[in-house]
């Protein structure tokens, strides 16, 4: 028997085992997936928890429900990989030998990496919404917030779902307006980027939406520490940003075992070929989803599109054939903008988000780079698609690589 071990049963790992179990001969392949716990969180739902739009029950399910028959699910924390021995070692001492390894342990918010973030104000006036506990605690804080300076802050890039902090700012603005207290709240968006987003056209559009909503932007801000006594963010260039309530996205990092195993870069992401997701150093290791270092957004949509291509490539690779699939960095993200509307962006390694219609040219029904109520309903419907189609690895009628159909090409400059 050949042994495939997948580390992480989150979005990417679960889709991969579902797709591969259908493709790999059961008489020849033993498949195992490892995760540190049995609760699968639908992470896009964390954005809505602080505003009471969705509850914890809507966004979590037992992992084992999504692991197909014929795949062993092992619950345990990965301590290290010993690539020269082709073995995974778990924290409790269990060892798992493999012939092929797929790393899918994602990325995690790390408030411990910024001095002062976990100080006395943590979960009193400093919150995150990238963790379940944080989003739940923030719901209470927002409910009790009587007004003042709310700062939405990103420590550094890359983060998973890079639009989520912007969405939080838009939703907070709409929330205070609904509660008739907008005039009592000063909203500030603090980013390490030069603008609202990483890509120029989308950044300009999102920047003007922040402007329209009177949300101040503090750009190029690299936080050095948080002063808990004075409740201020302090940057390396000694700028200070005071807050009454801080909603921060801590530094995101790949799992520590990746570093302990000598498989990661400085943020514990696994360097891979950006088209095949094969490790740059080991021909029997792939890294999928947020765990790798490919230069596109860390997002569930990227995990989905890339796993489609990875599955075909993996089957060719283990058969000793050349891999013919080439992932183009396709990402597709709804951006909730408040007041029952959302925007949609669709892009890849080489094409930035453009205006137009998606997925059908001229028809949509979704609008690219434009707010619409249908986009908002698309975002909400996605949760159902996630549990019922994506995780079980069922086909979705969208191309894995980006299509230019429906997109308005930018006019060439003379």
Query: Minimal distance in Å, beta carbon 360 to ligand FAD?
Result: 21
Does residue number 44 form part of the binding site for ligand FAD (CB under 6 A)? yes
Pair 266, 281: CB distance under 8 Å:
no
- Return the DSSP state at 109: E
- Return the DSSP state at 396: -
Binders in 73-132 for ligand FAD, by CB under 6 A = 77-78, 104-106, 129-130
Does residue number 300 form part of the binding site for ligand FAD (CB under 6 A)? yes
**Considering only residues 6, 17, 31, 34, which one is a binding residue for ligand FAD as defined by CB under 6 A?**
34
Among the residue ranges 240-248, 288-296, 341-349, 361-369, the one whose residues contact ligand FAD (CB under 6 A)? 288-296
| Residue number with CB closer to ligand FAD (100 or 130) | 130
| Residue number with CB closer to ligand FAD (127 or 257) | 257
Does residue number 164 form part of the binding site for ligand FAD (CB under 6 A)? yes
**Considering only residues 80, 153, 160, 407, which one is a binding residue for ligand FAD as defined by CB under 6 A?**
160
> Which residue in 301, 284, 307 sits closest to 17, CA to CA?
307
Does residue number 368 form part of the binding site for ligand FAD (CB under 6 A)? no
Binders in 5-24 for ligand FAD, by CB under 6 A = 8-13
301: helix, coil or strand?
Answer: helix
Two structure tokens written together for 55: 């509850």
Binders in 228-267 for ligand FAD, by CB under 6 A = 255, 257
CB-count burial class (<10 Å; 0-12, 13-18, 19+) for 190: buried
> Can you tell me the distance from the alpha carbon of 369 to that of 381, in angstroms, rounded to the nearest whole number?
19
The number of helix segments (H) and strand segments (E) in the chain equals 8, 24
Does residue number 333 form part of the binding site for ligand FAD (CB under 6 A)? yes
Does residue number 298 form part of the binding site for ligand FAD (CB under 6 A)? yes
| Residue number with CB closer to ligand FAD (129 or 314) | 129
Does residue number 162 form part of the binding site for ligand FAD (CB under 6 A)? no
Instruction: Give the nearest residue (CB) to ligand FAD.
Output: 10
> Can you tell me the distance from the alpha carbon of 171 to that of 185, in angstroms, rounded to the nearest whole number?
13
74: helix, coil or strand?
Answer: strand
Does residue number 161 form part of the binding site for ligand FAD (CB under 6 A)? yes
Two structure tokens written together for 54: 């969705």
| Residue number with CB closer to ligand FAD (105 or 114) | 105
Pair 63, 35: CB distance under 8 Å:
yes
Does residue number 338 form part of the binding site for ligand FAD (CB under 6 A)? no
> Can you tell me the distance from the alpha carbon of 303 to that of 377, in angstroms, rounded to the nearest whole number?
22
Pair 300, 332: CB distance under 8 Å:
no
Among the residue ranges 3-11, 138-146, 218-226, 386-394, the one whose residues contact ligand FAD (CB under 6 A)? 3-11
306: helix, coil or strand?
Answer: helix
- Return the DSSP state at 52: T
Produce one character per residue of 22-31: b if its CB has 16 or more CB atoms within 10 Å, e if not: eebeeeebbb
Neighbouring CB atoms inside 10 A of 3's CB total: 15
> Which residue in 405, 314, 408, 303 sits closest to 360, CA to CA?
405
| Residue number with CB closer to ligand FAD (35 or 173) | 35
| Residue number with CB closer to ligand FAD (128 or 173) | 128
| Residue number with CB closer to ligand FAD (242 or 382) | 382
Query: Minimal distance in Å, beta carbon 413 to ligand FAD?
Result: 32
| Residue number with CB closer to ligand FAD (10 or 234) | 10
Q: Where along the sequence are the contacts to ligand FAD (CB under 6 A)?
A: 8-13, 34-37, 43-44, 46-47, 77-78, 104-106, 129-130, 160-161, 164, 255, 257, 289-291, 298-301, 303, 333-334
């Amino acid at each position: 028997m050949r042994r495939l071990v997948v580390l992480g049963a989150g979005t990417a790992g679960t889709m991969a085992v579902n797709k591969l179990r259908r493709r790999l001969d059961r008489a020849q392949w033993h498949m195992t997936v490892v995760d540190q716990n049995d609760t699968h969180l639908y992470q896009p739902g964390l954005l809505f928890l602080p505003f009471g739009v969705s509850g914890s029950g809507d966004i979590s399910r037992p992992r084992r429900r999504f692991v197909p028959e014929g795949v062993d699910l092992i619950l345990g924390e990965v301590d290290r990989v010993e690539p020269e021995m082709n073995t995974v070692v778990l924290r409790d001492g269990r060892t798992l030998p493999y012939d092929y390894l797929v790393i899918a342990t994602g990325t995690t918010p790390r408030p411990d990496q910024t001095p002062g973030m976990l100080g006395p104000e943590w979960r009193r006036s400093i919150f995150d919404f990238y963790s379940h506990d944080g989003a739940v605690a923030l719901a209470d804080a927002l409910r009790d917030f009587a007004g003042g300076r709310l700062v939405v802050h990103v420590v550094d890039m890359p983060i998973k779902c890079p639009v989520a902090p912007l969405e939080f700012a838009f939703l907070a603005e709409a929330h205070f307006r609904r509660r008739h207290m907008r005039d009592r709240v000063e909203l500030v968006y603090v980013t390490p980027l030069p603008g609202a987003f990483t890509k120029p056209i989308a950044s300009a559009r999102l920047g003007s939406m922040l402007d329209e909503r009177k949300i101040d932007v503090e750009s190029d801000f690299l936080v050095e520490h948080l002063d808990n006594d004075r409740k201020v963010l302090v940057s390396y260039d000694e700028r200070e940003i005071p807050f009454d309530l801080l909603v921060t996205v801590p530094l995101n990092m790949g799992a520590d075992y990746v570093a302990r195993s000598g498989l990661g870069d400085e943020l514990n992401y696994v360097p891979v070929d950006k088209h095949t997701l094969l490790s740059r150093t080991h021909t029997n290791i792939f890294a999928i989803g947020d765990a790798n270092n490919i230069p596109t957004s860390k997002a569930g949509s990227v995990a989905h599109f890339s796993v489609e291509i990875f599955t075909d490539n993996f089957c060719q690779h283990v058969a000793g054939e050349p891999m013919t699939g080439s992932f183009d960095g396709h990402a597709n993200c709804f951006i909730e903008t408040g007041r029952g509307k959302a925007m949609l962006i669709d892009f890849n390694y080489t094409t930035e988000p453009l205006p137009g219609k998606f997925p059908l040219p001229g028809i949509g029904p979704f609008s690219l780079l434009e707010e619409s109520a249908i986009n908002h309903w698309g975002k909400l419907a996605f949760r159902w698609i996630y549990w019922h189609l994506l995780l079980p690895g069922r086909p979705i009628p969208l191309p894995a690589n980006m299509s230019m159909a429906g997109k308005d090409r930018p006019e060439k400059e003379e």
